[in-house]
Chain A
Amino acid sequence: MNRVAINFDECKGCRLCVEACPKNCLHIGNRINKIGYQHAEFDSEQCTACGICFYMCPELGAITVIKEDKKAVHHE
């Protein structure tokens, strides 16, 4: 499945990714991270790995988008 890995401690909780995701895969959770922000979390099976959240996010390393490797799954 496609997914988004968030480095929680690099997130400033600005919500830009949350609002931009066309599939509503992201939300701001309740946990407060090391730099004092409630950070974004990913929890969805709908992610298309479109990368919109990645480009929207102002932090340089907060978001990584991982696309399911269909072939790899096939070979298993």
Chain B
Amino acid sequence: MIKHTKSKSFYDTFERKGPGQKVTHYCPGCGHGTIHKLIAQALDELDVQDRTIVCSPVGCSVFAYYYFDTGNIQCSHGRAPAVATAMRRVHDDAIIICYQGDGDLAGIGTTEIIHAANRGENLTVFFVNNAIYGMTGGQMAPTTLFGQKTMTTPTGRTMAQDGAPIGVAEIINAIKSPVYVERTSLGTPGKIQKTRKAIKQALQNQVEKKGFSLVEILAPCPINWKMEPLQARKWLQEHLEPVFPVKQFRDNSDELIQAQFSTKLPWKSDEEVLDYFGVNKEQKQVKQEKEIEEQLVKFSGFGGQGVMLGGVLMANCATEEGLNATWLPSYGPEMRGGTANASIIISQDSIGSPVVDFPNVLIAMNGPSLDAFEEKVHAGGTILVNSSIVSQKISRSDVTAVYIPVSDLASEVGMIAGANIIMLATYLLVSKIMDINTLRKVLPESIKKKQFVDINMKMIDKAEEYFKEHLS
């Protein structure tokens, strides 16, 4: 009879790691593998594999999704509890695991973990404390011990330089909301059994919707500790455990915890969501009379040139005409004067991702925009250039170039800030994907400051005039 074997919550072969792979990417004697095994076993025993989502961190365990045959999501550094919270809001019954290292949770991710714990999110966090940054080659972590030599503390961590090793279980235990907080160790077979029980309890709590559980697990990183695997286990017991006491800090899992509120958002159907946001629910039939080429547009300029509004209006024109559209803003670090661009996709098909890396329409309101995106435009695409500001010509011969002095034209109408509208109108006229009168229809609804509606309408007229004279 097989008593212990590979858990069914793991993939049989780790195809994501490489064809036919059966071994982990972890170093010999690393703690992560053992912890994975304990988690997988608990998932088997609780029979929740099919509704589990593992949030993997940045760190050596970034590739946890190679191994767990569950839902997986790889989170930005330290953000797993925030990602998990979002999932909690839409998936009442998912079993959501945050798997995090000490650099991840106790360094860059302190905000997320503290507030998820304080909200008492119904989540399970496994915090793997190996007192070092493993993945990046052994820099000091917030949990590195005094005197411990790392790449960034070559003579050992000191209080004066680096502060004290941080006790995560203690911090979480100082917060009222969590239901379960325990610190365990992988030092000996007996302690591994305690870890196994703690992991299962922390998951069980979530299954029973009891709230937030965290298990801190002291684990070895033989490679960066520069030790043999056996020596590392010994060092873990002799040095880590005295600083990070292995104990149960809190276990309220026996208490009946009344859910004070449903963590799920109060909407039940798409209908209600649309209602809430006051969206017109009439499902428009996507316009199919004529085939259009999907438009992947980059509307780019400096902050203050109105590229965002230009993009919104473009997308609104598209939906008004029964096309599908997305609009995605991207700002530089500074609000004014920096670069800004909007990605707009217009399509007769459903749009998967709103990201436009390679546009087939580039609208360059200034020189840096042309520099940044010219090379990325698809062959056969169109580049519209604000020739009032951009003196250089397009160097590519496999795209259509349209030069329009939109800033000058806007000044002639009486407001240089209207250049974006002239540019948008010109795009509509050149591409013929949408009708210019659609813009006349959506513009008044889309502009917040109503006193600017009239002058912007004049911008459309101006664009039409210029188009007839110079571009048609």
Docked-complex contact B22 and A15, CB < 8 angstroms: no
B residues in contact with A9, CB < 8 Å: 22-23
B residues in contact with A19, CB < 8 Å: 230
Q: Least Cβ distance of A25 to chain B in Å?
A: 14
Tell yes or no: B392 within 8 A of A by CB. Answer: no
Known contacts A16-B233, A66-B2: A57-B22 contact under CB 8 Å:
no
Main secondary structure of the interface of B (DSSP, over half): mixed
Main secondary structure of the interface of A (DSSP, over half): loop
Interface size class on chain B is 20 to 34
Q: Least Cβ distance of A61 to chain B in Å?
A: 4
Docked-complex contact A15 and B196, CB < 8 angstroms: no
Q: Which residue of the partner chain, among A49, A55, A64, A66, contacts B196 with CB atoms under 8 Å?
A: A55
Inter-chain contact count A-B, CB under 8 Å?
A: 88
B residues in contact with A67, CB < 8 Å: 1-3
Interface string of A6-43 (1 = CB under 8 A from B): 01011011111001100000000000000101000000
Docked-complex contact B189 and A55, CB < 8 angstroms: yes
Docked-complex contact A55 and B5, CB < 8 angstroms: no
Tell yes or no: B28 within 8 A of A by CB. Answer: yes
Instruction: Compute how far the CA of A26 lies from the CA of B228 in the bound complex, rounded to whole angstroms.
Output: 18
Tell yes or no: B213 within 8 A of A by CB. Answer: no
A residues in contact with B38, CB < 8 Å: 55
Instruction: Compute how far the CA of A13 lies from the CA of B28 in the bound complex, rounded to whole angstroms.
Output: 7
Instruction: Compute how far the CA of A59 lies from the CA of B5 in the bound complex, rounded to whole angstroms.
Output: 11
Q: Least Cβ distance of B217 to chain A in Å?
A: 13
Q: Which of B29-37, B142-150, B152-160, B419-427 contacts A (4 or more CB under 8 A)?
A: B29-37
Q: Which residue of the partner chain, among B3, B24, B36, B233, contacts A51 with CB atoms under 8 Å?
A: B3
Instruction: Compute how far the CA of A65 lies from the CA of B27 in the bound complex, rounded to whole angstroms.
Output: 23
Known contacts A20-B189, A55-B196: A60-B230 contact under CB 8 Å:
no
Known contacts A64-B6, A67-B3: A59-B24 contact under CB 8 Å:
yes
Tell yes or no: B244 within 8 A of A by CB. Answer: no
Known contacts A12-B23, A14-B28, A16-B229: A56-B34 contact under CB 8 Å:
yes
- Listed in ascending order, the chain B residues whose CB lies under 8 Å from chain A are 1-7, 10, 22-24, 26-34, 36-38, 40, 67, 189, 192-193, 196, 228-230, 233
3 smallest beta-carbon distances between A and B, as pairs: A58-B33, A61-B6, A12-B28
